[in-house]
Amino acid sequence: MPTEFILIAVALAVFIFFQFRSSRKRAKQAEERQATIVPGAEIMTNYGLYGTLIDLDEDTNIALIETTPGTVLKIHRQTILKAVDDETPEVEAAEASAAAPEPELNADNAIVAGEPEFGERIEPAPKKPARGSSKKAVD
């Protein structure tokens, strides 16, 4: 009985230790992420909206972002997901364009050669069996 109690206590202590460590790690990551969110930074919101952070009001939790020149949106501060690194999308786009060859297009309507047009069938429809009498011979 005492050994079982010691094993349960050790397992509980290990569980608490890992929970504490992971929560500290998440708090540190959140703090680093918040340090990069300053006025003038390119940001992305939780719902995928990109823009430049103009103002951040800590008291009311309101952020003003400019999505396009002249368009300023007022959003809640907690919807800001992260500051966007400008270098990563350009590098990924360059790698993607280098890896994928340019498709050949038809000259008359700019549709990729070999692909069906809208509504065009790729294969002929399967023929339905002819309806005949379904009477079976009786023995």
DSSP SS3 for 35: helix
pLDDT in tens, 81-124: 888 876 555 556 666 666 666 666 656 666 656 666 677 777 76
> 90 or 64, which is more confident?
64
pLDDT in tens, 41-50: 899 999 889 9
Largest CA distance in the chain: 92
Domain ranges of the chain: 36-100
The alpha carbons of the chain give a radius of gyration, in whole angstroms, of: 31
Burial 37-72 (b: 16+ CB within 10 A, else e): beeebebebeeeeebbbeebeeeeeebbbeeeeeee
Strand partners, 75: 63
Q: Which CATH class is domain 36-100?
A: mainly beta
